[in-house]
Amino acid sequence: MMLALWPIYEPPHISGSPYSPCPNPPWILYPTPSARWLNNRFLALQGWFINRFTQQLLLPLSLGGHKWAALLTSLMIFLITLNMLGLLPYTFTPTTQLSLNLGLAVPLWLATVLIGMRNQPTHALGHLLPEGTPGPLIPVLIIIETISLFIRPLALGVRLTANLTAGHLLIQLIATAAFVLLPLMPMVAILTSTVLVLLTLLEVAVAMIQAYVFVLLLSLYLQENV
């Protein structure tokens, strides 16, 4: 049974090359603004969400960090799109792959570190040694803080991968159980299907929350270096 579960996380292949059919046309979900003075309700809700998210994200940042507004907002929409489309049947979720998540996390984290080293190197290096540290503990704390600094992008990628993978695995297990129990115990199968619907709604929330957490942590790393 386990052999039948894990292949759902493998990307499909065409002629030996991996591809993802789901994210190819995702932007059809986002209609283009019209030339009218007033947009429809969906466009108004979309604009309100993006504006509120951008304001909340940039609130603790200085003016130097506001240059990242377009990048962070685009990353948020990109991750939500991939996570939500991955919940559709017969689709593949690219964000369940650690390689993709690390490919997003490492360059952006490295950019925040390099910005801090360029703009305020003393303050950036000061994070490696807390103030008032006793002399004998200085080498140990520097090693610990350096490890914690380099583990940040790994934590970003693993968090997103683990949460989405666990949710999809639970949906797969409960759906299989409901399908098997339907001819044997219909009432139990109906109860299991109800749990499946509730879990699917929870996964929709998790897909949005994890995208928000990913971008929020990047903004916190940026806040320390600008």
What is the pTM (predicted TM-score) of this model? Answer: 0.79
- Which among 139, 73, 154, 70 is positioned nearest to 106, based on CA atoms? 154
Task: Report CA 130 to chain centroid distance, whole Å.
Answer: 30
Task: Convert the pLDDT of each residue in 2-43 to its tens digit.
Answer: 445 555 555 555 555 555 554 455 555 666 666 777 777 777
- Which among 215, 186, 224, 208 is positioned nearest to 81, based on CA atoms? 208
Q: Quote the pLDDT of residue 31.
A: 64
Query: String of b and e for 201-213 (b: at least 16 CB within 10 Å)?
Result: eebeebbeebbbb
Residue 38 · residue 197 · CB < 8 Å? no
- Which H or E run includes 77? helix 69-85
Q: Tally the residues of the chain.
A: 226
- Which H or E run includes 44? helix 41-58
Give the position of tokens 């909340």. Answer: 56
The domains of the chain are located at 24-29+43-225
Q: Quote the pLDDT of residue 25.
A: 52
Q: Quote the pLDDT of residue 19.
A: 53
Residue 37 to residue 17: CA distance in whole angstroms: 46
Query: String of b and e for 6-24 (b: at least 16 CB within 10 Å)?
Result: eeebebeeeeeeeebebbe
Those residues of the chain that have pLDDT short of 50 are 1-3, 22-23
Q: Please give the span between the terminal C-alpha atoms of the chain, in angstroms, as a whole number.
A: 50
Residue 135 · residue 129 · CB < 8 Å? no
Q: Quote the pLDDT of residue 29.
A: 63
